[in-house]
Amino acid sequence: MSEKAFGFKITVVGDAAVGKTSLIKRYTSNTFEKDYISTLGMQFSKYEEILNGELVDLFLWDLAGQESFSTLRDRFYKGSSGAIIVFSLAPEQLETYQHIDKWLSNIREACGNIPIILFGNKADLVDQNAVATSPNYATSDVHVKKFAQDHKIIKYYKTSALTGQGVKEAFQTLVFRLYQRATI
């Protein structure tokens, strides 16, 4: 392994209760906690990856999604190398998709054009048949992928912090993009 190490700050944002903390725990420790505890302000995690024989330190900043914390967020965005925007695919939380524009705008205003990945979390709670047969379904794959493409988001992933579906792959896609940018 090379002596040269990289460090990337990744900010994870989205509405309250979409699963940001659970996604980070699934990625960093491959665990899931069923009890919901709301993040107050910000939580910080550190994780290490090895890419091409080089150590990559990831500093994961999990920002509270409640509107009451909005004034604190700007200072936490500063210095971010990349970001993850999370919304919920759960039928009772579909309004979280409507707020992606706000999160995207906040990140770009504070950080410029950093790499961003979009997570549609709680895929385990979605009736796949309903999504596939309803063209008006706001979070259909076609609609979300087009949104991601139109807004220059690297990629959209359906994830489940509960089952682990797509989580590791989605995080690693962002980490690899950050690594590529740093080694050019």
**Whole-angstrom Cα distance, residue 7 to residue 59?**
7
Cα–chain-centroid distance for residue 139? 16
Cβ neighbour number for residue 73 with a 10 Å cutoff: 20
Indicate the pTM of the whole model. 0.87
Q: Does 63 map to a domain?
A: yes
Q: List pLDDT tens digits, range 7-57.
A: 999 999 999 889 999 999 999 999 987 775 655 455 778 999 998 889 999
Q: List pLDDT tens digits, range 93-118.
A: 989 999 999 999 999 999 999 999 99
Q: Does 145 map to a domain?
A: yes
Interhelix angle 167-183/20-29, nearest 10 degrees:
80
How many distinct structural domains can be found in the chain?
1
Mean pLDDT of 80-87: 97
In this prediction, residue 138 has a pLDDT band, given cuts at 50, 70 and 90, of low
Tokens of 89: 């695919």
- Domain span at residue 18 reads 5-179
Q: Does 48 map to a domain?
A: yes
Q: Does 93 map to a domain?
A: yes
Report the CATH number at residue 95.
3.40.50.300
pLDDT of residue 140: 82
Q: Does 184 map to a domain?
A: no
Q: Does 28 map to a domain?
A: yes
Q: Does 159 map to a domain?
A: yes
Helix (H, G, I), strand (E, B) or coil at 85: strand
Q: Does 58 map to a domain?
A: yes
- Token pair 């493409």 is found at 149
